[in-house]
Structure 1
Amino acid sequence: MSGVEMADEPLAVDVRPTARLRAKAERRSALLEAAARLFARHGFEGVSIEDLGSSAGVSGPAVYRHFPSKQAVLGALLVEVSDRLLVGGRAVVDTAPSDADALRSLVRFHVDFALAEPDVIRVQDRDLAALSAADGESVRDLQRRYVEVWVDVLSRLDPSTERAELRLRAQATFGLMNSTPHSARSLTAGRTRTVLERMALAALAP
């Protein structure tokens, strides 16, 4: 040996979630899925904590291990989906090879959301006012930032048009794509996707 002490090897730390944490996350996810389904069908006021627990396979009081109130369940549902849209929209733009590709991918991304989560759209449309003040502001802020992701792309594609008009186009297009819970009942998902994507791109064209 040279007399120089070797530094101890750093201890490996297992950061994998424990089975208990995984189970807790799964129960929380199940509660949010149940909330989307029940709130969409009966409205926020028409659903009790006991209804939520029963639908997710737990007792009513067990819901409080995950959320302090029914209003907090609604808040988590709408805040988290708004955050997911913002993060996903930014990722779509960041990985697109051109602005034209980014716009097509944004439309595809949002249509995917609209087809996969019609219950969340119904809840957003009907029960936004039932959020707490803090959650309501969080949802509105996240949604404003999501709109601006679209407006940034549209502005680069059509720099001569004011952002206010581009924002109007984007928001109107969201209304079109988010109409699926009410209008896409007689077509296959594939045909609905094709129609929505074509109409959305036409609405956004300069």
Structure 2
Amino acid sequence: MTVDQQQRPGPPAPRRRSRRDEILEIAVGLFAARGYHGVSMDDIGSAAGVTGPALYHHFAGKEAMLVAALIPVSEGLLHGGKERVGRHPADAQAALIDLIEFHVDFALANPAVIALHLHELDRLPDEPRRQIRRLQRLYVEEWVTVLATLRPELEAGEARVLAHSAFGLMNSTPFLGGEVDRRRRAELLREATVHALLGR
């Protein structure tokens, strides 16, 4: 090994998950499985191996956990959607395929978060709920803009209906069994979403 090789930095190490991240993941799984009211802070602490005072060091309560789980997800979807559309400024079909792959990968990796969003969003206070709704609307508009280019016969409202329908299809992952492996599930979801949006 040369001196240059010794001094050359390697790839950055992946970010180590914090204890807070671990607790939040456990809480999301419990909320998704039992419902928000079916889970207590004691349940979360027990599952995470954390005592009450230590748990409250990370989160003020269950409501804070919901906010911490859902707002970053909505921010991440919007950022990721914009980034993928930006990769294809002159090719709307490639942008749509990239959007679909991005969202399917998210949906398969985060079924508990999707279930939490579907069933528990209305439990949030007004301000974080409004923030999440706004982020979602902006994400939908990324899809609507691409669809409007690909299918100019559609009015904006019609493209929006199709986009929401596609989300319903892709966000079905909390209800899919494990009898089909992940790779094949991704293929089927992508194919079905393309057919739904493009009509072929």
Are 1:140 and 2:133 counterparts?
Answer: yes
C-alpha separation in 1, matches of 2:53 and 2:142? 40
**Candidates 63, 70, 76, aligned match of 1:71:** 63
Identity %: 45
CA distance in structure 1 between the partners assigned to 2:64 and 2:189 by the alignment = 33
Matched, 1:31 2:13: no
Matched, 1:45 2:37: yes
Do residues 182 (structure 1) and 175 (structure 2) align?
Answer: yes
Distance 1:60 1:94 in 2: 45
Give the conservation status (yes or no) of the 8 Å contact 1:51–1:60: no
Distance, in Å, in 2 between the alignment partners of 1:53 and 1:180 is: 27
Give, in whole Å, the separation in 2 of the partners of 1:43 and 1:136. 18
- In the alignment, which of 134, 145, 156 is matched to residue 152 of structure 1? 145
Structure 1 residues 184 and 151 mapped into 2: Cα distance closer, same or farther (>3 Å)? Answer: farther
- What CA distance in whole angstroms lies between the structure 2 residues aligned with 1:158 and 1:60? 55
Structure 1 window deviating more from structure 2 (146-155 vs 183-192): it is 183-192
In the superposition, the TM-score normalised over structure 1's length comes to 0.84
Structure 2 counterpart of 1:166: 159
Structure 2 Cα separation of the partners of residues 172 and 71 of structure 1? 29
Structure 2 residue aligned with 1:104:
97
**Deviation of the 1:184 alpha carbon:** 4.0
Instruction: Give unmatched runs, 5+ long, in structure 1.
Output: 1-21
RMSD: 1.7
User: Is the alpha carbon distance of 1:167 and 1:56 closer, same or farther for their aligned partners in structure 2, counting shifts above 3 Å?
Assistant: same
Distance in 2 separating the partners of 1:64 and 1:200: 42
Q: Hey, what's the Cα distance between the residues in 1 that align with 2:148 and 2:80?
A: 20
CA distance in 1, matches of 2:88, 2:22: 33
- Please give the alpha-carbon distance, in whole angstroms, between the structure 2 residues aligned to 1:59 and 1:124: 27
- Counterparts of 1:188 and 1:126, CA distance in 2: 26
1:85-139 deviation line (CA, Å, top 9, x unaligned): 1111111111236211110010000000111011111111111121111111111
Matching residue of 2:116:
123
Q: Which 5+ residue runs of structure 2 have no aligned equivalent?
A: 1-14
Choose the corresponding residue for 2:74, options 59, 76, 82.
Answer: 82
Aligned length: 184
Cα displacement (A) at 1:54: 2.8
Q: After TM superposition, what 4+ stretches of structure 1 lie above 6 angstroms from structure 2?
A: none
Cα 1:175–1:93 change in 2 (3 A) is: same
